[in-house]
Amino acid sequence: MEELLELALAAAESGAEVLRGRDAGRLGVTGKSGEGDWVTRFDVAAEQAVLRTILDRRPHDTVTGEESGTHRPEHPSGIRWSVDPLDGTTNFIRGIVYYCTSVAAADAQGNWLVGAVNAPALRRTYFAVRGAGAWVEEDGASRRLEGPVPDRAGRLYGTGFSFDADRRERQFPAFAATMRQYTDMRRLGSAALDLCLVADGALDGYGEQGLHEHDWAAGALIAEEAGALVTRPELPSPAAGEVPAADRLAAWLTARERGIPG
């Protein structure tokens, strides 16, 4: 596990280093699946940096990246990485600081082992190891994350909505019902960072529909290891070298205080 965590942190840092070179005049923005769903040349460059870091050290691992798909070795090790090189692309384009590089590794049974989320504009790196807890490193100091504060007044809920107007309209009723248990909400534009803020206790809960696996792979493990109750979209457990269908649009991912309905 120590080797995998070290590599996850190094890979996330390699992507974040690319993002630190943000140049508003050279973003290279193009559309993906629809209006509001963007990719920049930084997404692509950051993913290539992450992939090089992982595969240089572990060439027999499988790596699934948001932009380039799945890289399968001839003789897979049984470890698979899920990479979001730039979670919060719209924020990145607009100069809003909530964006990050997210890297996580799972075993052949689909158990998430390590995760790292590096937010360069915030100068924070969140990370976790399965069964061993979660931490944040900021300004050279690390501290353990302990999740949402129990029974706190003024509970805050984080969420996000689809780029597609019809799908977004269908999301609103479930959101409204959930908000009866919270006082207010925040919408950061990065699922990975929303989950890390649940881990850090800044948010008391988070839920979002229609996420891809790379959006939540690292953040969900970090929140879970901090003590939050995490419900992931149901994905098949992949055999070595196989990749689950990551896009389950009807499924919600939630993270919240244990014992509190979400």
Q: Is 87 annotated as a binding residue?
A: yes
CA–CA gap between residue 199 and residue 205 (Å, rounded): 9
Phi and psi at residue 217, to the nearest 5°? -55, -50
Write down the pLDDT at residue 254.
Answer: 87
Write down the pLDDT at residue 33.
Answer: 53
CATH number of 156-256: 3.40.190.80
Domain boundaries, the chain: 1-145, 156-256
> Token pair of 180, please?
């009866």
Three-class DSSP category at 115: strand
CA–CA gap between residue 180 and residue 105 (Å, rounded): 35
CA–CA gap between residue 251 and residue 260 (Å, rounded): 20
Write down the pLDDT at residue 259.
Answer: 62
CB 163 within 8 A of CB 34: yes
- Average pLDDT over all residues of the chain: 87
CB 113 within 8 A of CB 129: yes
pLDDT tens for the chain, residues 1 to 262: 899 999 999 999 999 999 999 887 687 767 655 555 567 888 999 999 999 999 999 999 999 998 888 999 999 999 999 999 999 999 999 999 999 999 999 999 999 999 999 999 999 999 999 999 999 999 889 999 999 998 889 999 998 887 777 777 887 888 888 888 898 989 999 999 999 999 999 999 999 888 899 999 999 999 999 999 999 986 544 444 444 443 333 467 888 877 655 5
Biggest distance spanned by C-alpha atoms of the chain: 54
Q: Is 86 annotated as a binding residue?
A: yes
Residue partners of 107: CB distance under 8 A and separation at least 6? 78, 79, 80, 113
Phi and psi at residue 179, to the nearest 5°? -65, -10
The class of domain 1-145 in CATH terms is alpha beta
Closest CA to 86 of 189, 221, 230: 189
| H or E stretch at 50 | helix 41-57
Q: Is 66 annotated as a binding residue?
A: yes
CA–CA gap between residue 9 and residue 118 (Å, rounded): 8
Q: How many residues in the chain?
A: 262
Write down the pLDDT at residue 31.
Answer: 66
Tokens 């989950």 belong to 195
